[in-house]
Amino acid sequence: MSLAVSPGEVLGLIGPNGSGKTTLLNLIAGTIRPDAGRIHMAGEDVTRLPNHLRVRKRINRTFQLVRAPPNMPAIGTVMAGVLYGAGERVRFKDAGYEAAGLLGELNLLTKADRRFDQLTYIEQKRVELARPLATKPRAILLDEWLSGLSPSELEGGCSVVWSLAAQGIDGGARALPSRYRHECRIQDRGGTPRRRCCATPRSSALTWATTMLEIDGLDHAYGRHSALRDVPIRVRSDEVVAILGANGAGKTTLLNAVAGLLRPSAGSIRFRGNELMGLPAHRIVDQGIATVTEIRHLFGLMSVRENLTLGAFPRNARESTSEDFAYVFELFPHLAERQRQTVRTMSGGEQQMVAVGRALMARPSLLLLDEPSLGLAPLIAKELFAVLERVARKGDTSILLVEQNARRALKMADRGYLLALGRIVGEGSAKALAQDKAVAESYLGL
């Protein structure tokens, strides 16, 4: 058997059980030795190297059956990849930062200290991917990585695989089970050409006379793990902009950077012409930017009204608190009926209403929303988006939105950006993105 994988290419291996897919990956990874033939990586013969030394040559893999010490916490599993893959002395503390960054980008940071055998199957799969990624491979071998995932996770999995190749992992060899053959749409060979976005990676055709938010060259890293790389974003006045990307793409990191919840290592964030880099979060709120974070950060022992009152912290909102209460209660009548209720006794949907209402109490010119429908029942999510559309139509608040439901996000948005492993890989009008076949396959599940 002979094959070659070019830099940046995704190669799919398709065949029935017993056809030799996993055996081929084992040969490339060095788990078993070939009877004949040669294996070269970047021009170097690695045929005789054992598998642990091939990792140092930047070849790594996942396994068909997840493999990790059951009693080890998730962060320890990923740290093992950081420490070994470096090939050099790395401080234990720095390895922890980098592992936490990887877990954060895969939405697993809150589970970092949980034992591997206490994670759900989907969470174990993500840790299984984070560990080889921690070694910074140039070629990653994914053996039945999509097996056992739900349809929604399959959509994100395809985006992750494409992102790995797009952002510098030179060869992605995948062994696909026969029931997932439709996933070959993201491959260069073994299926149709890799997706091509209808938009260009950079925006130059639009005029930005009414630009409210300008982000240029934004970089951020967790330890040695790069979460954002040279990111450019524009949000105009009275515009809704959606950020689309798989788990681990850097969406939450981007919003946190704008909100001042972390300090990027490089780049510029300008709001109405004023530089925000280096400002603390409360000063950024004063500038007119409010954030609804993924985990809400409400004060559970306080009442609904008390939580909303805290939102009126900015100077421009303090004198209009009564008017703002009326506006929030008009949007969320249910909250008006429960003003004295302790927030921690409320449902997830009700708490999300409080979180959005608190942000609106600040009278923001720009509202940052991080996964507003996450964990909500479909009916509650639909009602929430109806409210957000009303806020957008009012015309005095722009919205930068990160949302797991890409179809719903594009329906609400004016424009969208595609984020892959920390880089902007495409952008365009929401209508154009929604109609683009490649985007629909990778983000909309069509």
Q: What's the rounded Cα separation, in Å, for the pair 274 and 214? A: 10
| Residue after which a domain boundary falls, among 153, 186, 219 | 186
Q: Would residue 217 count as lying in a domain?
A: yes
Question: Is there a single domain that holds both residue 16 and residue 119?
Answer: yes
Strands 211-222 and 266-271: antiparallel
Q: Is the dihedral of CA 240, 233, 281, 100 positive or negative?
A: positive
Q: Would residue 178 count as lying in a domain?
A: yes
DSSP string, 409-428: HHHH-SEEEEEETTEEEEEE
| Residue after which a domain boundary falls, among 186, 220, 251 | 186
Q: What's the structural domain count of the chain?
A: 2
Distances (CA, A) of 68 to 60, 65, 131, 262, 371: 15, 10, 10, 31, 30
* Domain with 112 in it: 9-186
| Residue after which a domain boundary falls, among 186, 203, 221 | 186
Buried residues in 333-345 as b, exposed as e (16+ CB within 10 A): eebeebeeeebee
Q: Would residue 360 count as lying in a domain?
A: yes
Q: Would residue 426 count as lying in a domain?
A: yes
If 0-12 CB within 10 Å is exposed, 13-18 middle and 19+ buried, where does residue 116 land? buried
CATH of the domain at 333: 3.40.50.300
Question: Is there a single domain that holds both residue 220 and residue 348?
Answer: yes
Q: Would residue 355 count as lying in a domain?
A: yes
Name the residue among 298, 263, 296 with its Cα closest to residue 280: 263
Q: What's the rounded Cα separation, in Å, for the pair 148 and 158? A: 14
In the Cβ-directed half-sphere of 69, how many Cα atoms lie within 13 Å? 10
> Would you write out the chain's pLDDT as a tens digit for each of its 446 residues?
888 888 767 788 887 767 888 889 889 999 888 899 999 988 899 999 998 898 888 898 888 777 788 889 999 999 988 888 756 677 888 888 888 888 877 778 888 888 888 888 778 888 888 888 888 888 888 887 766 665 555 655 665 565 555 555 543 444 433 333 333 343 444 433 333 344 444 443 344 447 899 999 999 987 767 889 999 999 998 899 999 987 778 899 999 999 999 999 999 999 998 999 989 999 999 999 999 988 888 998 999 999 999 988 877 767 778 888 999 999 999 999 999 999 989 888 899 999 999 999 999 999 999 989 887 888 888 999 999 999 998 888 999 999 878 888 999 999 999 888 788 888 889 988 888 877 766 665 54
Q: What is the pTM of this model?
A: 0.60
